[in-house]
């Protein structure tokens, strides 16, 4: 009997090739069991630095470390059989120089086996993106609202409302596209601008709060599953209410433990009769 061919995961080039064909489906993933559930339905899984807020209770993504990204990147790679897997470069691990960015990206790719890295930034990061791409690192860009810049950007406001801001995002997206990114996240950006940018780039645009005009969509999985309810931005849709399901399960368990109705006989080991 012949062995079935090993299933190949999608590549960054496959994601770019979806542009103009059909929307790319992307979600964040941080752990192996969740990856196994999401992977068959997604084209791309992002090990986002949002994990700092979603899993670790941090206020922003600024405190996330390379070690955290590697541990979760490895966990996701253990569960992914189909989707392209991209790992975020965390704040402070790439902005200093293109050499620093290459060292961090190479370490993450070697230690996780992921397909590429994502970094935030526009014109100021274009040289770095070109440096990485020309040395074998597929880059997923990220423009518009950039959560790693929350401390200088005045919080998490949507972008592109003024002509000045729109022009900056336009230039940022063009610079990262020309530098060779295979795809670019456009976050928290007004629809006409996201539509215009999508129509002018070679890279696939992946929107989060940037309208259906983008070439694909990404959401933080815990947001769309109704697990992370600290706040609900306008662009999040809850496809499930897992927080309520988990609370109810914990309440039912606690009641049964207190009533000594769990564990029941079927959950209990008895001594086997002697032969």
* Spatial separation of the C-alpha atoms in residues 102 and 79, rounded to whole Å: 26
* Spatial separation of the C-alpha atoms in residues 118 and 47, rounded to whole Å: 9
Shortest distance, position 255 Cβ to ligand KIV, whole Å: 36
> Is residue 28 part of the contact set for ligand KIV (CB under 6 A)?
yes
With CB under 6 A as the contact rule, which of the stretches 47-55, 109-117, 128-136, 237-245 interacts with ligand KIV? 47-55
- CA–CA distance from 243 to each of 5, 178, 225, 252 (Å)? 39, 42, 8, 14
- Out of 18, 43, 45, 88, point to the residue binding ligand KIV (CB under 6 A): 88
> Is residue 185 part of the contact set for ligand KIV (CB under 6 A)?
yes
187 included as an active-site residue: yes
Shortest distance, position 210 Cβ to ligand KIV, whole Å: 10
- Out of 179, 208, 214, 225, point to the residue binding ligand KIV (CB under 6 A): 208
The 3-state DSSP class for residue 49 equals coil
Instruction: Name the DSSP letter for residue 197.
Output: H
Burial class (CB in 10 A: 0-12, 13-18, 19+), 240: exposed
* Spatial separation of the C-alpha atoms in residues 55 and 50, rounded to whole Å: 8
Helix axes 98-112, 66-79, angle to 10 degrees: 40
Closer residue to ligand KIV (CB): 28 or 162: 28
User: Under rule CB under 6 A, which residues in 137-166 are in contact with ligand KIV?
Assistant: 142
Token pair for residue 106? 């190479």
Closer residue to ligand KIV (CB): 230 or 266: 230
User: Under rule CB under 6 A, which residues in 213-232 are in contact with ligand KIV?
Assistant: 218, 220
> Is residue 181 part of the contact set for ligand KIV (CB under 6 A)?
no
Closer residue to ligand KIV (CB): 142 or 174: 142
Shortest distance, position 68 Cβ to ligand KIV, whole Å: 12
**End-to-end C-alpha distance for the chain, whole angstroms:** 43
Binding footprint of ligand KIV on the chain (CB under 6 A): 28, 46, 48-50, 88, 142, 185, 208, 218, 220
Residues with active-site annotation:
187
């Amino acid at each position: 009997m012949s062995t079935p061919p090993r299933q190949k995961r999608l590549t960054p080039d496959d994601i770019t090739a979806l542009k103009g064909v059909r929307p790319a489906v992307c979600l964040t993933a941080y752990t192996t069991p969740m990856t196994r559930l999401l992977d068959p339905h997604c084209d791309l899984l992002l090990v986002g630095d949002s994990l700092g807020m979603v899993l670790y209770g941090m206020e922003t993504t600024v405190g996330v470390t390379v070690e955290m990204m590697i541990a979760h990147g490895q966990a996701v790679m253990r569960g992914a059989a189909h989707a392209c897997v991209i790992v975020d470069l965390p704040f402070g691990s790439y902005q200093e120089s293109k050499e620093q960015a290459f060292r961090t990206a190479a370490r993450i790719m070697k230690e996780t086996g992921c397909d590429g890295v994502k970094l935030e930034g526009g014109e100021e990061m274009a040289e770095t993106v070109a440096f990485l791409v020309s040395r074998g690192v597929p880059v997923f860009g990220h423009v518009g609202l950039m959560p790693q810049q929350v401390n200088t950007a005045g919080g998490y406001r949507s972008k592109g409302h003024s002509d000045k801001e729109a022009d900056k995002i336009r230039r940022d997206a063009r610079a990262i596209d020309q530098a060779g990114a295979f795809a670019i996240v456009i976050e928290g950006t007004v629809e006409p601008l996201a539509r215009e940018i999508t129509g002018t780039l070679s890279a696939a645009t992946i929107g989060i709060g940037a309208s259906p005009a983008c070439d694909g969509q990404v959401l933080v999985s815990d947001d769309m599953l109704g697990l992370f309810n600290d706040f609900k931005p306008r662009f999040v849709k809850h496809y499930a209410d897992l927080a309520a399901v988990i609370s109810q399960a914990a309440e039912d368990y606690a009641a049964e433990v207190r009533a000594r109705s769990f564990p029941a006989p079927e959950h209990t080991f008895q001594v086997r009769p002697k032969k």
